[in-house]
Amino acid sequence: MPSLSKRVLSIEESSSIKLATKIINLRNKGKDIIGLNVGEPDFSPQESVLSATKAAIDNGKYRYSKVQGEAKLVNNLLNYHQQLSSHDLSADNFLVSNGSKQSLYQIFQTICEPEDEVIIFSPYWVTFPEAIKLSGATPVSIAPDKVSLLPTIKQVTQHLTKKTKAIVINSPNNPSGRIFSEDLLKDLINLAKKEDLYIISDEAYIDLTYNSESPKHLFDIVEDSFDNIITARTFSKTHALTGFRIGYTIANRNLTKAMNNLQGHLTGNNCTFAQYGAVASLNVQKEVLLEQKNLFKIRRDKAFEIISPTLPLEKPEGAFYLFPSIEHVLKPGESCLDFCAELLEQKQVAILPGVAFGMKNYIRIAFTDSTERVLEGCQRIIDFIKER
């Protein structure tokens, strides 16, 4: 058999997708699995979004379209962000892709050369290191403070080399839910300007913050920083459009054009009619989105009350995950992978091991199922620990 690419063989299978397959198999055998593993809201898209999507099909919006994105969506994105930002944005700064996974893949493919280094902060989203490796670059992971789960600017400067090309920020963070302070962001942006680096800001959870308003655009924090910052956003989390696969980037014109050229050969346009659903989602009343966010906050608070007395952790400020350490409850020689596998087998609760996020003695608990199921799942986790 002919050999396979070393580049592709070097990447790890997505832990969440691998576990999801196992859960499907268990459910097919009649097992009632409480799924606290998937970062997918349990809400349905708003009826206005579904109606707009169906209307687009009825109106013939099912053919090839512009690679950058349908003009209606791009212009609505421009208008939306102009209201949030003081920067002089234009349509040329936007590129619509098949979810933020594709956006991030294209970013690394476009900016990285072989042997470049990209700094990421653990705990990190599972796809960051693999997408970086696929570009030929090397991910350089910085371990956080074990209490705050946040890095320091001193750590970043200590890891800078002549090969450093970019720094990846994910705030609110998946899996920890922690939010980078504006002071830390300012320090990182100023460092990027000084060293001529990119800041890649994955903002999948930017509108799911519980103690404050949504953070600013990074390029509004430090003057004249736009050319150093690449923003990636998605409709999957806040708007519950996971299956629509709509993500987009905001970046300078030259970089956006280069990514557009790559996307033209990679996938072409995003699903045409799904983009009209995304347009409608931008017009969903703020009160509806706030109601959904408040429900996540209730789940967070109640889940935290169950988990934190046994597994101490900082209360997450955003996203929809708890990320506690289980180091003190592991058996000798046991890994977080073993812990999660045994929990699934004995208590029928699915969670993700922290090692997938660069933290070997942690677990990620998603509060994305119904409130009743989330609380039942959390209690089963605590019962499992106490019964061991």
Per-residue pLDDT of 180-237, as tens digits, reads 999 999 999 999 999 999 999 999 999 999 987 778 899 999 999 999 999 999 999 9
CA–CA distance, 25 with 149 (Å, rounded to integer): 34
Q: 150 and 385 in contact (C-beta within 8 Å)?
A: no
Angle between helices 15-28 and 336-347 (to 10 degrees): 20
CA–CA distance, 319 with 307 (Å, rounded to integer): 17
Considering only CA atoms, which of 371, 363, 207 is closest in space to residue 299?
371
Predicted pLDDT of residue 4: 86
Q: Which amino acid is at 64?
A: Y
Q: Which CATH class is domain 6-44+286-387?
A: alpha beta
pTM of the model: 0.94
Query: Is omega for the bond preceding 139 within 30 degrees of 0, making it cis?
Result: no
Res. 307 pLDDT band, cuts 50 70 90: very high
Per-residue pLDDT of 60-91, as tens digits, reads 999 999 999 999 999 999 999 999 998 999 99
Which SS3 state, helix, strand or coil, does residue 35 take? strand
CA–CA distance, 29 with 32 (Å, rounded to integer): 9
Tokens 């906050």 map to which residue?
Answer: 297
End-to-end CA distance of the chain: 47
CATH 3.40.640.10 location in the chain: 61-282
- pLDDT (average), residues 286-299: 93
Percent of the chain residues past pLDDT 90, beyond the cut: 86
- CATH code, 61-282: 3.40.640.10
Considering only CA atoms, which of 278, 317, 293, 290 is closest in space to residue 80?
278
DSSP 65-94: --TT--HHHHHHHHHHHHHH-SS---GGGE
* Range from 26-35, 37-46, 190-199, 341-350 that averages highest in pLDDT: 190-199
CATH 3.90.1150.10 location in the chain: 6-44+286-387
